[in-house]
Amino acid sequence: MGVLITVLAVFAVAGLVLLALSVRNVQQYEKGVVFRFGRLLPDIRGPGLRVIRPIGDRMRKVSVQTEVLGIPPQGSITADNVTLTVDAVVYFKVIDPVKALVNVRDYPAAVSQIAQTSLRSVIGRADLDTLLSDRDHINAELKKVMDAPTEEPWGLRIERVEIKDIALPESMMRSMSKQAEAERERRARVIAADGEFEASQRLSDAAATMADTPGALQLRLLQTVVDVSAEKNSTLVMPFPVEMLRFFEHQSREADGATDGWITHRKIRRPAVSAAVKIPEPAAPEPAVPEPLVPAPAVPAPADVSAPRSLSGERVGSGGKRVGGRAEVAQERRDNWPAQTDAEEPPNG
């Protein structure tokens, strides 16, 4: 009896062990593929508890979630011969677990390699402006290129491909910045020119309106005065009408002079200088010629003091005329003074 109980216990334990080996748990996001002695079974196990043969059967679980795979930076040359570095990211999922396990080994690594080669080929066919401005077109072309070798043979679906970054050389970045600056400056100049054109048209219309209505010009003048006085300045500038200045100029031309206290400017006509007239150059200084020695004038001998004089002052004058009183002597001296002065002046050289 004891031996029978031992045998039953052994069989029970063996059954529990075999049951544990035959039960597999499949998650909701997984698919189970069973191989029996290395041969693929056609049935694919869904999520839940699944029972397989403990001996000879082997289950492989494949995730059907969307996987994200980063592509390392790839250096490539564009169609317009610009060297750049591009990295991207690939979103894919398994749609056929059997093909993903049977037809390809390590399908994530295979997707990474084909993504790198496809990225280089697509960049080589596009130019730099397309890469920078139309990334959606490049992403769609990348997805189309990668779908062909992965979806049908490998059972993988490329859901999305995105270019993350484009690294340009330093010299190319400087050239592009100069180009963008020049483009912005051109737009600014065009906009400023359009504004000036529209403003000139509006000013022309306003000038025509003011010319038709003389009171409008006066109102504009008063408005300008109000605008200036609103700033509380100590100096008030009064614009003077140009028409009044022209009126005074016309009056001055007619009167040819000052009229009613207004000072006008006359045009002074200067004689035209002929171009043929030559201004003589200054002559060289002549050597100094020594002046001739002029003999000193003879000093008249002093009058004889011993000669008798009358009390009235009578004496003989310079012309042999007899001078009597003091008044006649003074008159004779005044008459002879210029002659004596001219005689004493030295001759000019």
pLDDT, tens digit (0-9, with 9 covering 90-100), for 179-216? 889 999 999 999 999 999 999 999 888 888 888 887 78
Asked if 57 and 45 touch (Cβ cutoff 8 Å), the reply is: no
Q: How far apart are CA 300 and CA 3, in angstroms?
A: 197
Q: For the chain, where are the alpha helices, taking DSSP H only? A: 2-22, 97-102, 107-125, 128-133, 135-154, 170-212, 214-229, 242-255, 326-344
How far apart, in whole angstroms, are the C-alpha atoms of residue 108 and residue 247?
A: 96
Q: Distance (Å, rounded) from C-alpha 110 to C-alpha 88?
A: 16
Helices 107-125 and 135-154: crossing angle in degrees, nearest 10, is 140
What pLDDT was estimated at residue 195?
93
Query: ∠ CA(241), CA(246), CA(250), 5° rounding?
Result: 150
**Residues 92/111, Cβ–Cβ less than 8 Å:** yes
Q: How far apart are the first and last CA of the chain?
A: 180
Q: How far apart are CA 52 and CA 55, in angstroms?
A: 9
**Lowest mean pLDDT, pick from 104-118, 246-260, 266-280, 324-338:** 266-280
Torsion sign, CA atoms 148, 151, 152, 153: positive
73 within 8 A of 85, measured Cβ to Cβ: yes
36 closest CA partner among 60, 58, 14, 51:
58
Say which residues have a Cβ less than 8 Å from residue 107's Cβ, sequence separation at least 6. Answer: 94, 100, 154, 156
How far, in Å, CA of 46 to CA of 59, rounded? 12
DSSP designation for 256: T
pLDDT value of residue 221: 77
**Whether 251 contacts 259, CB under 8 Å:** yes
Spatial separation of the C-alpha atoms in residues 241 and 248, rounded to whole Å: 11
Counting residues of the chain whose pLDDT is more than 70, the rounded percentage is 70
Give the burial string for 271-309 (b: 16+ CB within 10 Å, else e): eeeeeeeeeeeeeeeeeeeeeeeeeeeeeeeeeeeeeee
Lowest mean pLDDT among 196-200, 276-280, 316-320, 332-336: 276-280
Mean pLDDT of 255-281: 47
CA–CA separation, 232 and 236 (whole Å):
9
Closest CA to 123 of 169, 69, 81: 81
Q: Who wins on pLDDT, 18 or 142?
A: 142
Q: Apex CA 195: angle with CA 190 and CA 198, to 5°?
A: 125
Mean pLDDT of the region 138-153: 88
Q: What is d(CA 163, CA 120) in angstroms, rounded to the nearest whole number? A: 12
Both structure tokens of 309: 């004089």
Tell me 30's DSSP state.
E
Question: pLDDT tens digit string along 296-313?
Answer: 455 454 444 444 444 444
Give the whole-angstrom CA distance, residue 165 versus residue 167.
6
Q: What is the pTM of this model?
A: 0.51
Q: Closest Cα to residue 52, out of 76, 25, 80, 83?
A: 25
Distance CA 82, CA 16 (A): 68
Q: How confident is the model at residue 315 (pLDDT cuts 50, 70, 90)?
A: low
